Structure 1
Amino acid sequence: MKKAILFVFVLFAGLSLMAQDLQKLATKGAERLFSDKDDLTSVIQILPEGTVVEAVKADTAFTLIRLGDIEGYVKSDRLTAALPVVTTAQPADEPIAQPADEPVAQPVQEAAPVYAEPDVQSRQIPTERFQALIDKYGVDMAKRLYQHKVWKGISSEMARDSWGKPKQINKMYVDRGVEEEWIYSSKYLYFRDGVLVEWGPVR
């Protein structure tokens, strides 16, 4: 029964998104934009609170969104319907005649909340970090490292450029070689002579 309800919900969400061109949504807070919803280390960028995005498709956990020419995943429960930009217009009534010794009261305009996309500079790629990675490794490698990806055969320097400095490094000298285990908060990387050979969750 639960599966049927979940299926109907996902189907309804998908059909409602297809029925509209692209639904406008806004982030509830500062949210991470992931390139891969199954890899929470694949953060592309942080979206500021109130960032207006277009929903491409959604499921119960993640929504594929578009922000300019960037696509990625945001947790579905961290998005809300984008509020339209509202402007307050005061009626152009003629002022009521006041005695000369009393000042004329001016109407007070309240500023309406504005929900807008972040400034262009904060969402442009390449960023300084991305450009530095391009200069160091070339475009293809830079894209993967910028998205916090790692794979067998990369150097320890590339891993540091991708994931950052580890919390702890365990170094072992084995058979005229050096093996290192880099510990992060939830994962580890294992290097043999400066080359990544294994990784996994911290036990």
Structure 2
Amino acid sequence: MPGLGHVEPGGPPLVTALSDTVTLTKISVGPMDNNAYLLRAGGQPGAGVLIDAADDPERLTTVIGSEQPAVIVTTHRHGDHWQALAELARSSQAQLVCGRPDVDAIATGAWVEGLVGVWDGDVIALGDESLDVIGLVGHTPGSIALAYRGGPVPHLFSGDSLFPGGPGKTGSAADFATLMDDLEHKVFAEFDDQTVVHPGHGDDTVLGQERPQLPTWRARGW
């Protein structure tokens, strides 16, 4: 049975109102079922934010239409999250943003210039509103999540750091421990159970569904 915020690989986008002013378009792109998210601030042309120009630049261009985003955010350095970044950067004047420790890897891999590194405490403008940046070390050194708090419930765009059923893949026990620490302190301790999590692949979840599993994740080590 399809889960929360389900989109089919290669299928049509899903459009959702996050607040009275902000809409979200979610689309699955590429062979790894990557989610790309387009946030638009109503009535403010050119104020949008695209999260993960992952693949299928033609489909993303169709979703974007004539109203180019002001910012393109890459949640982390893994190549399946930036395959369309260079092409979309060339066709727009968008500012390119990623987590500070992943700047060099993304710039080199995607062949893009002018990447701006962000981390805890930074904000990304979304029209008259903003997205809060949260650094989550573990899946990669510079993975980030983005939080939108302007609607009835918070929305967290977690990249590959948090999914339904657990944290993202890590390469060592130390990386797993770091990611779990960041998730517990920066996400679960700061956001309520109604917070919707929009991951880098697959369906969405809510923190209240995941919170009881934290001890299980710790115990199993992944």
Q: Could you say whether these structures have the same fold, taking a TM-score greater than 0.5 normalized by the shorter chain as the test?
A: no
Q: TM-score, normalised by structure 2?
A: 0.24
Between 1 and 2, higher relative CO (CA 8 Å, sep ≥ 6) is seen in 2
Q: TM-score, normalised by structure 1?
A: 0.25
Largest Rg, 1 or 2: 1
